[in-house]
Amino acid sequence: MKKSIAILSFVALVVVAYSCKKNGSTPAKTAYLDLPATPYPYFDSFNVNMNRMATLGRVLFYDGHLSLNNTISCASCHKQALGFADNAALSAGFEGKLTKRNTPTIADVRMKQTFFWDGRENNIENLTIRPITSHVEMGISDPTTLPQKLAALPYYSSLFADAFGDGEITTERISTAVAAFMNAISSGQSRLDMFQSGNTGALTAQELQGKSLFDTKYDCGSCHNGGGVIVFGGYGGGRGSIFLDIGLENTYNDKGHGVITGRAADNGTFTVPNLHNVALTAPYMHDGRYKTLSEVIDHYSHGIIKTPNLDPILTDGAGHARRMNITDEEKQAIIAFLNSLTDHHLITDPKFSNPFKSR
Ligand code: HEC
Ligand code: HEC
């Protein structure tokens, strides 16, 4: 009798273990995390390994244990509802200290070749360790201690095993997985995207007027349009460089790309930001100086300063700062156009959302 109960419970255990393995989840994982049995199709439904990798990356992205005092995750500053940016001029890190610059969106990073406002990184996988070790952002000064810290949590060994074939946790694997998740976050379902893929009815008359002002009359697109196709950041359009000075301040409180190259001609130049979801990513510019899109347009309209490295397109030809004198009606049209760049799908898609169960 006793023996048959033992055999029965053994069989039951095997069945439980097997069914957990089959759908890639373990009791430890499901206790903390709300993950689908079959990984979300981050890349496509056949690319199961990459999808598992991105699933692990999602958990890491939302996990406060990646910071020294377990309070700050990547998502504390890169918030899905805000187009993966932050709504503060400068963001607060693990000890409440503020970042030096405004938090940019991380959507569409896979389209970029250099990262950060000043371009100091060009490898997305190397980049991941930077916020973790930053003494302002997450504070884990020695990243080699992180694998051990994560191994002590009940949910990671099976997630790493799903993604890499075995449960070993290394800093390289952490970076690879977070990069996979970030590479999956791309905006392609805004109304401008629909319009550009052939749905001519996707934009209203006012938005079309704004698009024309943006592309043609005020040359915004000569910096902001990547390859003339769509408004991605980090291209600089036809400007030759992707780091440009738009005449914000003469003193260059922040030398931007000049800090990296040491060249005076690069002082005050910053990467051209991604305008996808720009309506959600306020405040604006590398230092978050403008609270609204209206203030941004006012800058281009009549606020440009003749700085030493001001981009020629923002001068009047005689060496002075250009005065666009954008009318109120035009301003409303440009703002309407910028609003058509919001991808509502991206900001509500469960596969990019916080996977931790609230407890
Ligand atoms: C305390 C706020 C904060 C946290 C936490 C944070 N970031 Fe950031 N992130 C920023 C700021 C600020 C910048 C811009 C820094 C700069 O350009 O000098 C940035 C820039 C980036 C960029 C570059 C985007 C681009 O277009 O160039 C990526 C990618 C990124 N962060 C990913 C991450 C990841 C991954 C994590 C978690 C491991 C993370 N961040 C945690 C604030 C934060
Ligand atoms: C000479 C190139 C250039 C031109 C022309 C230009 N921009 Fe920009 N734009 C930039 C750069 C570079 C930044 C970032 C500057 C910084 O933060 O120091 C920027 C920032 C912005 C931002 C803030 C984005 C954010 O996330 O912070 C908006 C919005 C914007 N531009 C819209 C426009 C509009 C509208 C026009 C036309 C009226 C225009 N731009 C013309 C290069 C340009």
Residue 313 CA to ligand 2 center (angstroms) comes to 12
Looking at the CA of 241, which ligand is closest?
A: 2
pLDDT band, very low/low/confident/very high, at 12 (cuts 50, 70, 90): very low
Tell me the Cα Rg of the chain.
24
Cβ 267 vs Cβ 308: under 8 Å: yes
Q: CB under 8 Å to 199, separation ≥6 — which residues?
A: none
Query: Is residue 13 classed exposed, middle or buried when 0-12, 13-18 and 19+ CB atoms within 10 A define those classes?
Result: exposed
Which value, to the nearest 10 degrees, does the dihedral of the CA atoms of residues 90, 96, 99, 100 take?
A: 90
180-198: burial string, b at 16+ Cβ within 10 Å, e else: bbbbbbbbeebbbbbbeee
What is the distance between the alpha carbons of residues 251 and 256, in angstroms, rounded to a whole number? Answer: 12
Amino acid at position 307, single letter: T
How many angstroms separate the CA atoms of 283 and 289, rounded?
7
- Of 324, 319, 315, 310, nearest in space to 245 by CA: 310
Is 234's pLDDT higher than 90?
no
Q: Which atom of ligand 2 is nearest to the CA of 278?
A: 26
Q: Would you place residue 319 in the very low, low, confident or very high pLDDT band (cuts 50, 70, 90)?
A: confident
Amino acid letter, 88: A
Ligand 2 center from residue 71 Cα (angstroms): 33
Check pocket membership of 85 for ligand 1, CB cut-off 6 A: no
Which pLDDT does position 261 carry in this prediction?
95
The confidence score (pLDDT) of residue 251 equals: 93
Asked if 277 and 347 count as a contact pair (C-beta separation under 8 A), the reply is yes
Q: Whose CA is closest to atom 30 on ligand 2?
A: 296
Query: What is the rounded average pLDDT of the residues 31-35?
Result: 94
> Minimum mean pLDDT among 12-16, 252-256, 281-285, 288-292: which range?
12-16
Q: Which ligand 2 atom lies nearest to the CA of residue 271?
A: 12
- Tell how far the Cα of 257 is from the centroid of ligand 2, in angstroms: 16
Neighbours of 163 (CB within 10 A): 23
Question: What's the 189 CA to ligand 2 centre distance in angstroms?
Answer: 22
What average pLDDT score do residues 242-256 get? 95
Specify the pLDDT at position 307.
97
Q: How confident is the model at residue 151 (pLDDT cuts 50, 70, 90)?
A: very high
Nearest-atom number in ligand 2 for the CA of 236 is 2
From 60, 78, 120, 259, the mutation candidate for ligand 1 (largest count of ligand atoms within 8 A of CB) is: 78
Can you tell me which atom of ligand 1 is nearest the CA of 92? 1
Q: Are 309 and 245 in contact (CB under 8 A)?
A: yes
User: Which atom of ligand 1 has the smallest separation from the CA of 99?
Assistant: 12
Ligand 1 center to residue 12 CA distance, Å?
46
Can you tell me the distance from the alpha carbon of 38 to that of 24, in angstroms, rounded to the nearest whole number?
Answer: 7
Q: Are 106 and 128 in contact (CB under 8 A)?
A: no
Rounded Cα gap, residues 197 and 190, in angstroms = 11
Residue 244 clears pLDDT 50, i.e. is over it: yes
Please name which ligand lies nearest the alpha carbon of 124.
1
How remote is the CA of residue 242 from the centroid of ligand 1, in Å?
A: 19
